[in-house]
Structure 1
């Protein structure tokens, strides 16, 4: 069984957003905290948890899935993962082939479905290139974005198409660094854009 009053955000540093991990209820300073404030204004009974961990790749998420996801039995689970798998590889680190990455992600979703069957929100990994060399990262990242789209379709998840959203916003702003200072981590504007898009997506999935 799940708790019908728990919303859980899961992911890497973009979700973590400098949360104080010594305080389990802390939501950090990013899109998860912004979305939580709006959710609680409508549903004061909701418990919103952030379990994003900076630096995580899909393997790290797998290793803590039981304790940081399944144990909470969320009614709604939001996941954003993938850019670190690309970033580490493009800077000479270990490579996680996209086919393996997708299957590992799939197994996490299969497990959570079997455990508590939450409503799912999958957020595309994204990159807003701020330097010429970051454009080369897209060779590795774009297939991961496509994998998330496939997984969303397979699992009946809501899909937040964050890559197009933030790149379009960067064009409108006139400079990519205004949306993601280093191409990966959103600015205050970037986090607000993500939160607003997330809230629009889940409006009908969270009552109140």
Structure 2
């Protein structure tokens, strides 16, 4: 009888512990965590940059920064995604594209930011992966990942030059491929800002293509 009472007590303790853990998992984020997330959310954006050489555009890129809560891999912790998608054109050489991404997990208790190496990283243009044109794949100095693509057949460039709308999606994983996420670059900002940035980027691509004699 005494042994039965001890077992019953242990069972009750385990049940209470399980209920406490469930309540903690399902509870809303603390106020400090919510404030941090809102602040990071207010800083997200996308910018189109370009450089010129002797009056001609030689490179163009999209720099992005956004934040989301990752419930699949990080138990709802804020994850910052920062990086860029660039294209470089040189007379007599094939267009060269690069993708850089640095995912960083924010620890609410300490506000510490830990960079993560994306185990899987790819970019899709209009739904088509460009992984077949991968030329280099390195770890970035700040903990992210950097991939270079040589557009030998001009497939990537012509995809960007096609009339109508176009979309750039970055697919990645930060938990060894257990979960995959898609980042639609032009969805980071409002529709109006997205349209403006997309227009600037396409203008740069068109100008560089005209200079190099690339026909859509």
Structure 1 and Structure 2 fold alike (TM over 0.5): no
Q: Which has the higher contact order (CA 8 A, sep 6+)?
A: 1
TM-score range, shorter chain: under 0.3
* Structure showing greater Rg: 2
Determine which structure has the larger helix proportion and give its number. 1
TM-score by length of 1: 0.23
TM-score by length of 2: 0.23
